[in-house]
């Protein structure tokens, strides 16, 4: 199974809280062999900065690593 989180832009409050909660629940998804991935129209560099924001929202150290990747779709070809 897989979960695709599709977001319009990085740093939006709802998207940040949703991915923050998903990051917290990642171990539970992993136990069930469910792969998680996110998609946003912003650049990889923005995603790395946003990942820090997401981790900070969870009360963790603001680092670039999340338990799932975020796909950059700047040309909106995937969306």
The residue extents of the domains of the chain are 2-72
Q: How far apart are CA 39 and CA 48, in angstroms?
A: 13
CATH 3.50.30.60 fits 2-72, yes or no: no
pLDDT of residue 59: 87
Q: How far apart are CA 28 and CA 40, in angstroms?
A: 24
pLDDT tens sequence across 39-63? 999 999 999 999 999 999 888 888 8
Global pTM?
0.85
Assess whether pLDDT exceeds 90 at residue 8.
Answer: no
Q: At what angle do helices 44-57 and 13-31 cross, to 10 degrees?
A: 80
Q: Which ranges of 13-74 does DSSP label H, i.e. alpha helix?
A: 13-31, 44-57
Q: How many residues make up the chain in this entry?
A: 79
pLDDT of residue 9: 86
pLDDT tens sequence across 11-48? 888 899 999 999 999 999 999 999 999 999 999 999 99
């Amino acid at each position: 199974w897989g979960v695709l989180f599709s977001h319009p832009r990085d740093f939006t409050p709802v998207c940040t809280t949703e991915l923050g909660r998903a990051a917290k629940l990642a171990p539970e998804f992993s136990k069930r062999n469910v792969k998680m991935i996110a998609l946003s129209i912003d650049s990889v560099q923005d995603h790395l900065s946003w990942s820090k924001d997401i981790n900070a929202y969870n009360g963790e150290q603001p680092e670039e690593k999340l338990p799932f990747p975020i796909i950059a779709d700047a040309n909106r070809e995937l969306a």
